[in-house]
Structure 1
Amino acid sequence: MIYANLTSKRPSRVSCFEQINMSVKDFPEKCWELVFRFLGQGHDLESVSMACKKFIPITNRVKFSLTLHDRTVLFLPRLLSRFLRLKVIDLSYFNGELKGLLHQISQSELDLDLVNLSNQRTLPIDELRELGSKMVNLKALICSNIGYLHDSHLVLIAYCFPFLEELDISFPLDSQASDFGIVRLSSMLENIRKIDLSGNHLITDKSLMSLCQNCRSMEEISFFKCFKISQIGIVSAIRMRPGLASISFNIEKKRIHGPGLTPLHINLDLIDSLTTLKRLNTIDLSNSFISDEFLISVAGGSSVFLKKLVLQDCCNFTFSGIFYVLSKCQYVQCLDLRKADFLTDESISKLSTFLLNLTSIDLSGCCQLTDSTFFILTRNCPFLSDIKMERTYIGVQGEEDSNSMFNFAINHQVKTVYLGDNILLKDASLIKFSFICPSLQLLDLNACEGISGESIVEVMKRCSEIRHLNLANTIIERFEINFEVSKLGMLNLSGSRIEDEALSIISKWCSGLLLLDIQNCYVTAKGVREVIENCRALKEVNLKNCSLVDDDFVSELKTFTRSSLRKIITPYGVGVYY
């Protein structure tokens, strides 16, 4: 038996349940329902349903979303009869035969709003027709990354789900969808508000025009990598639907003779048409050739409403262009400037004066940015929650005085920080960041080889809310923790240098772990056993390529079950499910 009993110092499970039952009696069910709604649809909700039998009917009523994996399919009839208020079913993680599954869902008495069929080999015709006959009120259908997509699928979708408001058919692996299918679909789905056509390379201006002409409720449209749609077609679509709230596309960069990229000429009518989008709140131009004039037109049209601006991997614009658009659009909340390599710390300082409403920023690949940018953003952006600065010059002292904390401001709003692939990041900088962001919940330090276990301990000590920590591909060997890290649920140590000693400490002080990834680590069965014994909430362990974990231990694991443990990836990469 590899699972240890609870120590005598801890209250028994029976006594805990008795205390909970006493509390349930004294607390109205409606109040419990409000509490459980606040927990969301994930593991927290599952945990409370296991804590007390009287919680089960309450959690059944507040669960609206169900994600199906291969291992849960056997329990599908029970799940469908238990959760009668389900509105969303996600099949994007399911790798088996889709036909029988859709039949079971169709035969249930559910009234679904959304079904996600992404990542399937294809869409089964008969079962889709059956689903449509039962789920007559379905509002959203997600079919991204389908193996094979044909016009017949589009016509069937339109016929079976006439009240669809959202449709995603983006990036099929083999797309045979053409203007014929899109035109038929647009003529039948008048209520469509949001559609993603990205990656369907056969469609042309005709498809875009038919959607904008027939779907009068259209608010959001995406068509990345649909390079048969011309700039003239985009102009016509915008002028037909000036009330669009979100538009996402890219202006192709074409490679001709020799190295480098020769872009298409930007049509002046396209630049002018953007000024007519007065209610635009989101524009995504990822991987496009744009210009400062292009950005100025965006600002001219939607200066009040623009909330999200994505310019990831765009070229040909300058600091002047982005300065102008942000000076006019000061309500931007999400800003993506990945690979804008002209940006400097001074640039960010100037832009930050316009970013008072910013909640999320991505500056990954901006190779001139140093620690100063981090300090500037956390000081000048009071609502900033999410910072991504991967592959930058972070770890290098900029013009900000890094020896004095007077220039730094503690920001309790910052919850997630991604600093992966910053090879110059050192302990001193990381400790300062943790001091500035004490409410941090997610920290990603993948491939940051300059940090040590000592700085990680400081992060854990200062950031007591930390829930997700990624230390993959670092040189960290051990942690000298002597305090409880109670909220840490996900720990990624894959490719690091940790051994059994580190696992022993982790199992003692991080007992609330849900997921532990230690693939490619030099750990043995002894260290893994200790983690499984002490971390009794553990749901998943990844031991892939852990060559020192012997076969006998793997066989031993297969013979044991525990209510929390769901999945173990063996050293050979095989998943063992419970």
Structure 2
Amino acid sequence: MATREELYLPDDCWESILKIFLNDCDNNRCFLPSLSVVSKQFLSVTDSCKLSLTISDQTLPLLPRLFQRFTKLTSLDLTGITGDQDALLTQISCFPLQVKSLSVSSNDQWTIPANGLRIFSQKITTLTSLVCSNIFLISKSDLYLVADSFPLLEELELAIKVDSYDDSEMCGITLALPKLRKVNLSGSYHIYDSSLLHLCKNCEFLEEVVMFDCKNLTAIGIASAIRERPNLRSFYFTLSEAMNIGMEMNDSLRSMKRLSCLDLSFSCISDQLLLSLGNKGVYLRRLVLRHCTGYSYTGILYLLSMSCFLQHLDLENATFLSDCRVAKLCKYLFSLVSINLSHCMQLTESTLFALVKNCPFLGEIRMEYTDIGKFGVEKFSSSTDFTHMEMKSLHLANNSFLNDETLKWFASIFPNLQLLDVNKCHCISDEGIVEVLRSCKIVHLNLSSCENVNLHAMNFQVPMLEVLNLSYTRTDDKTLDAISKSCSRLLHLDLEECINVSDMGVKQVIENCTRLKEINLRYCGNMAADVDIWLAMVLSRPSLRKIKAPSHFYPQIYTKWKPLLDHGCFLCP
């Protein structure tokens, strides 16, 4: 009989085994807590599998323990921090981390945390990705700081306002970052043609450029820059009508031999541009023409007929599309994985049927603000008996004709559906939703503003549901009772403005949904503001990370709420 020592496997072996297991599972993060309680060794191994950490104000007191526990972190996100990011970065630099990706984006920061980044760079020299978006202003000195402190940067996002600089300064900054592969400078008022030219000229490994809404770029300037870097793979620009796009731009785009991703959202383009790309025979994998104007069905049909490897297509607000025209496009979309046809008002369930019939790999459809449900699904359900195993996500919000019969049809043909968003679909009821929950593998369900849904008929297990949005619905304590009995793995529950729920129903959910992390109770006016009730509920569920309190709660005023506030998950209205 083998001894305990002979059966022992070292941590690195278990780590390899668990990584193989987790990589084979969808949504693999949910398995880490369960694996970690098997043994102390598994706890140590699963800790090493966590590579990213999002830091919020609530987690700040726990940071030393978290960094000691998760020693292999490579990605940190400081977006949720409202306080002093300089001090936080200084604190992080004291730990022996090998951070490769850092985000210091924030809606509350006027400037980047320059001092903190400088100290951070002196101790942690492995950074290759930096995101500094949604910050009001970045100065020239900040740009130099980034370039001098992080010479290994491969990905840089500075989607912010930058004060003016001259050509020599931009040239020097791009020369200091020779390894750049991806750059996002969207929204900058001081990005000119010369700036883009220096970027493309000096960064020989550049593959992706994102410059949405850069008002001072011209078509000629963009075309000139592209010719300096013909190996660009991804191109994200807003081309305005004032740019007067001509043959020079068309020729430059055609010269991009490795172009696989083209995003021209909110641009004014032409059929001539699409025909030029089609004539080149580009091998696009992603094409985004969201809210674009100036082109027609003729141009997009020709381009798609020449792009047989396309996987992601976004034609949002292409108002010229009809069911018949989409059916013709489907002939060229065999490799499609995701499509966005939202705000294409003429499209109905016929389009959805054509897509799932002709695109065997399609996993995500967005058809918000369309006419799905207008004509009924009888002709499809009676003439065809098939299932589409790849479909995982359906975004169908604001479809006024969407009804229970259509939902039942979805349930019958999409057995692996994981995400369903039907918010503001006023014609659906429990009859359709319950059938979807019973037949599919729903993980994320958005029923916001569906006033005819209350889930009273959900009397069976929904083992995979993790995110449930019932905001602005007729949800009551009976609904919460059904949820507490059927949705044991629920993580996030949104009950905003569900005026019929009380603390009794919420207590049932918190007691029985043992993995619950977040609950939104804003504007739930029937909730009791009793600190003893809430303290008992919070302490009974250690997994809770965030509670958005009703508007009539005033815990800051009364000292008896202090223990609850100190717990860290209770948020004031």
TM-score by length of 2: 0.90
Query: Residue 167 of structure 1 aligns with which residue?
Result: 156
Asked if 1:132 corresponds to 2:108, the answer is no
| Residue ranges of structure 1 left out of the alignment (5+ in a row) | 1-20, 254-262
Mark the CA change 1:26 to 1:41 in structure 2 (over 3 Å): closer, same or farther: same
Residues 51 and 564 from structure 1, CA distance in 2 versus in 1: closer, same or farther, beyond 3 angstroms?
farther
Residue 487 of structure 1 is matched in structure 2 by 464
2:492 to 506, 515, 518: 515
Alignment match of 2:304 (pick from 303, 326, 336): 326
1:252 aligns with 240
Number of the residue aligned with 1:570: 549
Give 1:63 shift: 1.5
Aligned to 2:59: 72
Tell me the equivalent position of 2:48.
61
What residue number does 2:476 align with?
499
CA 1:43 to 1:101, structure 2 compared with 1: closer, same or farther past 3 Å?
farther
After TM superposition, give the deviation of residue 403 of structure 1 in Å. Answer: 5.7
Q: Deviations over 1:462-514 (max 9, x none)?
A: 10x11010000111134312211111111000001111111111111112211
Q: What does residue 425 of structure 1 align with?
A: 402
Q: Which residue of 2 aligns with 1:281?
A: 260
| Corresponding residue of 1:144 | 133
1:453 corresponds to which residue? 430
Query: Would you say the 8 A contact 1:277–1:301 is kept in 2?
Result: no
Identify which of 144, 147, 153 aligns with 1:155.
Answer: 144
How much has 1:33 moved relative to structure 2?
4.8
Partner of 2:562: none
Name 1:190's counterpart in structure 2: 178
Matched, 1:551 2:529: yes
Q: Is the 8 A contact 1:165 1:191 kept in 2?
A: yes
Taking the aligned partners of 1:225 and 1:318, their CA distance within structure 2 comes to 23
Of 367, 388, 392, 1:415 maps to 392
Structure 2: which amino acid aligns with 1:198?
S
Q: TM-score of the superposition, structure 1-length normalised?
A: 0.89
Aligned to 2:559: none
Q: Residues 34 and 473 of structure 1: is their aligned pair in 2 closer, same or farther, counting only changes over 3 Å?
A: same
- CA-CA distance at 1:238 after TM superposition: 1.0
Report the secondary structure of 1:423's partner residue.
coil
How many Å separate the matches in 1 of 2:522 and 2:362?
37
1:528 partner amino acid: V
Tell me whether 34-43 or 362-371 shows the greater mean CA deviation: 34-43
Q: Which residue number in structure 2 is paired with residue 203 of structure 1?
A: 191
Aligned to 1:338: 316
Question: Which AA in structure 1 matches 2:443?
Answer: R
Give the AA of the match of 2:263. Answer: D
Tell me by how many angstroms 1:206 deviates: 1.1
Q: CA deviation at 1:138?
A: 1.1
- Report deviation, 1:187: 1.9
Partners in 1 of 2:143 and 2:119 — Cα distance?
A: 16
- Partners of 2:334 and 2:347 lie apart in 1 by 20
Residue by residue over 1:93-131, the C-alpha shift from the partner in whole angstroms, topping out at 9 and shown as x without a partner, is: 222211121012111111211111111512122211111
Contact between 1:519 and 1:545, CA under 8 Å: does it hold in 2? Answer: yes
How big is the shift at 1:411? 0.4
Query: Please, what is the CA RMSD of the aligned residues?
Result: 2.2
Match of 1:35 in 2: 21
Q: Deviations over 1:163-195 (max 9, x none)?
A: 11110011x2x5426455543321211111110
Return the offset for 1:268: 2.0
- The reply to whether residue 243 of structure 1 matches residue 231 of structure 2 is yes
Query: SS where residue 551 of structure 1 aligns?
Result: coil
Q: Which amino acid aligns with 1:124?
A: P
Letter in 2 for 1:458: E
Q: Superposed, which structure 2 residues align to 1:287-326 within 5 Å?
A: 287-301=266-280, 303=282, 305-326=283-304
Pick from 447, 456, 459 the counterpart of residue 471 of structure 1: 447
Q: Is the 8 A contact 1:290 1:314 kept in 2?
A: yes
Q: CA deviation at 1:425?
A: 0.8
Structure 1 564/573 Cα, relative in aligned 2: closer, same or farther at 3 Å? Answer: farther
Amino acid at match of 1:176: D
Task: Tell me the amino acid that sits aligned with residue 336 of structure 1.
Answer: D
- Matched-pair contact (CA < 8 Å) for 1:113–1:137: yes
Structure 1 residue 51: deviation in Å?
Answer: 5.0
CA distance, structure 2, for counterparts of residue 182 and residue 438 of structure 1: 53
Amino acid at match of 1:425: L
**Aligned equivalents of 1:481, 1:401: Cα separation in 2:** 26
Q: C-alpha offsets along residues 292-344 of structure 1, whole Å, 9 cap, x if unaligned?
A: 111122223452x3100000000111111110111001101000000001001
Q: Cα distance 1:44–1:190, how it changes in 2: closer, same or farther (>3 A)?
A: same
> More deviation in 38-47 or 487-496?
38-47
Query: Offset at 1:43?
Result: 4.6
In 1: Cα distance, 2:552 partner to 2:104 partner = 26
Residue from 98, 109, 126 that aligns with 1:111: 98
Q: Does the residue aligned with 1:326 lie in a helix, a strand or coil? A: helix
The CA distance in 2 between the partners of 1:105 and 1:484, in whole Å, is 43
The Cα shift of 1:405 comes to: 3.2
Residues 307 and 333, structure 1, Cα contact 8 Å, conserved in 2 = yes
Distance in structure 2 (CA, Å) of the matches to 1:558 and 1:569: 14
